[in-house]
Chains A and B, each alone.
Chain A
């Protein structure tokens, strides 16, 4: 089955520093990856859509200069949380669509990474 990995699985950083999170599709190519954040005991909130070779599309209310997204290849997207503050502490999860399997939206399946827990002190 399709596997998506994230690195690191957890990170603790000081306020004001930047943190980069990687999302990789291991056995398939993904033109589109999605980034979500999840606060404790809450649901997933879509932050942005990462498109290979083009700019990311951000959801309303998500600061693009705060959360930098780069999708440099068909298997890798990165999310950088810049100048992190304690309120950015959250569980960040990515997902990826299989390029070959996602021919029509009616058959689309997204595969999720295991998540990255960010704690900003």
Chain B
């Protein structure tokens, strides 16, 4: 069964606004990764945060990880219409042999 839960399931914002998506998980992890998927397409790797890291930045993306709460957040700043996509978190659980468990995903719509 899926371990990750993401909220919100859907998010609609205006261009220029910030978008925040959250992910929760249940077991110990080696790392947590965020991916983006455009409709009907493959996944694009956005950012990986290790279990001993608390925050990571990449361009307009900011990811936080709170292992005590078993949660992570993805912030997209100054959103653009091209950011419209589904965003998934995926956990690399301890002892899983690098098998990823994906969250349910957040469908982000950025209106121009």
Q: List the A residue with the shortest CB-CB distance to B30.
A: A105
CA of A105 to CA of B31, assembled, Å: 8
CA of A66 to CA of B58, assembled, Å: 41
Q: Is the interface of A mostly helix, strand, loop or mixed?
A: strand
Q: Which of A49, A91, A106, A113 contacts B40 (CB 8 A)?
A: A91
Q: For residue B80, give the distance in angstroms from its CB to the closest CB of chain A.
A: 21
Q: List the A residue with the shortest CB-CB distance to B105.
A: A43
How many interface residues does chain A have, given as a range? 20 to 34
Q: Is the CB of A105 within 8 A of B98?
A: yes
Flag B74-112 by CB within 8 Å of A: 1 or 0 each. 000000000000001010100001111111110000000
Q: For residue A17, give the distance in angstroms from its CB to the closest CB of chain B.
A: 23
Q: Is the CB of A106 within 8 A of B88?
A: no
CA of A117 to CA of B40, assembled, Å: 8
Interface set, chain A 1-47, CB cutoff 8 A to B:
6, 32, 34, 36, 42-46
Say whether B2 faces chain A, with CB atoms less than 8 Å apart: yes
Q: Is the CB of B2 within 8 A of A45?
A: yes
A97: chain B residues within 8 A (beta carbon): 98
Flag B25-60 by CB within 8 Å of A: 1 or 0 each. 000001101010000111111001011100000000
Q: List the A residue with the shortest CB-CB distance to B47.
A: A109
Can you list 19 contacts pairing A with B, beta carbon distance less than 8 Å? A6-B42, A32-B98, A34-B100, A43-B2, A43-B4, A43-B104, A44-B88, A46-B99, A46-B100, A105-B92, A106-B31, A106-B51, A107-B31, A108-B48, A108-B98, A110-B33, A113-B42, A114-B41, A114-B42
- Chain A positions near chain B (C-beta within 8 angstroms): 6, 32, 34, 36, 42-46, 49, 91, 93, 95, 97, 102, 105-115, 117
- Chain B positions near chain A (C-beta within 8 angstroms): 2, 4, 30-31, 33, 35, 40-45, 48, 50-52, 88, 90, 92, 97-105
